[in-house]
Amino acid sequence: MASSKLFAPTRVGAIEVANRVVMAPLTRNRAPGAVPTALMAEYYAQRADPDSGAGLIVSEATAISPQAQGYADVPGLYGTEQLDGWKKVTQAVHAKGGKIVCQLWHVGRVSHHLLQPEHADPVAPSAIRANTKTYLIDGEGQGGFALTSQPRALHRHEIPQVVHDFAAAARNAVKSSGFDGVELHGANGYLLDQFLKTGANQRTDDYGGPIPNRARLMLEVTRAVCDAVGHDRVGIRLSPVTPANDIVDADPQPLFDYLMRQLATLGLAYVHVIEGATGGPREVEGRPFDYAAMKTAYRLAGGRGAWMVNNGYSPELAQDAIASGRADLVAFGKAFIGMPDLTARLRRGGPYAGLDKATMYGGGAHGYTDYPALND
């Protein structure tokens, strides 16, 4: 596979990348107090050399505000110590010749009151609890999963603050911490996805009901972030039919076709699409979806951003997606945990290694920075 177009350079908005292999965002719960650490800098740097690792790294999901937090020990982007910690990460990545964007995250209802400021209720488009779990760490430092808390509906007058927080976090990421760009987390049942989909949004104001209303917040946030850092440094992640975090929409095809036509006008660097169930099957029973039609809607409306695909891509499927023109970039998630030199292995056709599931969330260097590369 050494001569595959998968390893050819390309341009992603304002970002030149050396290959088309992307490291997908991976929550690892190793940022105590929401502050990125030196260990995190080492972890990302191990995967940053484009000769052996990712052409582009998308950081783990990063909370835009204290209210946006939903899991213990995930990083933030709203305090000086956090920005300094992330700057050390981006410097380590750039020293290896890599490129990295920061995924901006508001979890919405996928949270627990113990993680919220003053132990408040999490916020959501509507007061509908997600039947899912979040990750907590107890007083003895032991981590585990717990059911999410009952949320409250955001008041109409609170929504502009959410938009502002996304824009402020984007500025912090690019202008203070040195990221090459940002990715809006509009997927996997988190806040922007919650507003988008009928299973979580039962509002009766201009942020609920018809498709243009439900898409309003995502589009307001995207425009604000483009204004903050430049449209060619902004990507967005979407998951049309994933059931992750108890999310569902009654009719996703027209919803995402509409969204694509609107996003096409904004000049984004890329669109990142999770095909199927996040981390699961590529086809979701009872939720058919035409991803080609989604892309066509974007292109016909003038969208020129790179098209990034994700979820369950084998080396052969990834190569075919690029060679056929179906995708410009392919994102790999769990594969990059156990194989920091994934691109080198793809070039050689293997060997491929697994990962230790017991160390995926929380902990220290073990199962994080101690996975060997082929030449180690």
- Which residues are part of the catalytic machinery? 190
N residues, the chain: 376
Residue 240 near residue 289 (C-beta atoms within 8 A) = yes
Query: What stretches of 249-290 show up as alpha helix (H) in DSSP?
Result: 252-263
Coil, strand, or helix at residue 366? coil
Cα gap 62→182, rounded to integer Å: 10
Tally of helices (H runs) and strands (E runs) in the chain: 11, 15
Cα gap 345→207, rounded to integer Å: 46
Cα gap 35→57, rounded to integer Å: 19
Say whether the peptide bond before residue 351 is cis (omega within 30 degrees of 0): yes
Backbone torsion region of residue 82, taken as left when φ is above 0, otherwise alpha when ψ lies between -120 and 50, otherwise beta? alpha
Cα 78 from chain centroid (whole Å): 18
- Residues 6 or more apart whose CB falls under 8 angstroms from that of 350 comprise none
Tokens coding 234: 């902004």
Helix axes 38-46, 80-95, angle to 10 degrees: 30
The DSSP-derived string for 18-57 is SSSEEE--------GGG---HHHHHHHHHTT-TTTS-SEE
